[in-house]
Amino acid sequence: MTQVKNAIKDNYNMMLLNDFLREEIKESGFHKVEISKTPTGTKIALYVTRPGIVIGRKGSGIKQLTEKIESDFGFKNPQISVEEIQKAELSPSVMCNRMAAHIERGTAFRRATMWTLNQIMEGGAMGVQITVSGKLRGDRSAFEKHTQGILPRAGNYAKNLVSEDITHTKTSMGLIGIKIRIATKEKLIPEFQFNKSSKTEKEEIAKTETEQIKTEKEEIAKTETEQIKTEKEEIAKTETEQIKIEEEKMKTLVTLEEEEEKLK
């Protein structure tokens, strides 16, 4: 029973720490936290999109964070390391926080959902599913699911390929829950990948001019999107700045509700 109690206590502390870091280092784009206990102390690895905000000037930010974690959660000699994630669009927690911030600032939930779907798929995801629940448009609670791409639902493939996160946001109507599930191509199981040895010589030789043109266009499009993303990252130093930039671009997005009003 003692082992079970310790496991429950550790999981509960992990949940509290995750919620604390989600609010404490929100501006840095919090992704996840990993804890490993060593004889000398506790190693805490933070994965964020902007590590400079967590570290602070001359390490002042990370010192304050270690003191808070040690006093509030009781970790012995915590040693925090900060690592940067390359693609924020493939992180469910980052995209959940951004979508929640858009809804809090008054953006319609469907517009925020469609924008988040497009951003995740443009970021290189294999599939995505966004579930929004709560008092969305009236007094009665409801939920909506929006899916795009390929997303395994169950089995071992779903465990390996899909990552998910849940967050809640307060609005004038009430509490709204957001759940995002993302399937990434980087975690593809070898069964999904094609072996070069199975290809025949004819398939390797038979590359038409149209295929070459398509590949060239795709490479050009990738370079252009990468340049746009780098420009965005240079401009947006914090998550609030990123959300403000996205709000201006979100106005150009046409939703189904607007198309229905035009047809009327």
**What pLDDT, on a 0 to 100 scale, did the predictor assign at position 219?**
66
Q: What is the CATH number of the domain that holds 181?
A: 3.30.1140.32
Is residue 45 domain-shared with residue 167, that is, in the same domain? no
Among the three residues 32, 62, 85, which one is the final residue of a domain in this structure?
A: 85
Asked if residue 223 is part of any domain, the answer here is no
Q: What is the pLDDT of residues 39-48, one digit of tens each?
A: 888 888 999 9
Whole domain around residue 42: which residue ranges? Answer: 2-85
Going by pLDDT thresholds of 50, 70 and 90, the confidence category of residue 194 is very low
Query: Residue 233 — very low, low, confident or very high, per pLDDT cuts 50/70/90?
Result: very low
Length of the chain: 264
* Higher pLDDT pick, 57 / 3: 57
Q: Which of 53, 70, 85 is the C-terminal boundary of a domain?
A: 85
Overall pTM surpassing 0.85 (yes/no)? no
| pLDDT reported for residue 215 | 66
Give the bridge partners for 82, in sequence order.
Answer: 46
pLDDT digits (tens, 9 = 90+) for 147-157: 999 888 887 77
Q: What is the pLDDT of residues 56-71, one digit of tens each?
A: 888 888 899 888 888 8
* 48 and 179 part of one domain: no
Question: Which strand (E) or helix (H) includes residue 92?
Answer: helix 92-104
Tell whether the model's pLDDT for residue 225 goes beyond 60.
Answer: no
Q: Please compute the mean of the pLDDT values over residues 121-140 and round it to a whole number.
A: 89
Residue 222 lies inside a defined structural domain of this protein = no
Using alpha carbons, list the distances in angstroms from residue 1 to 5, 6, 12, 15, 25.
Answer: 6, 9, 16, 21, 36
Number of domains composing the chain: 2
Mean pLDDT, rounded, of the chain: 79
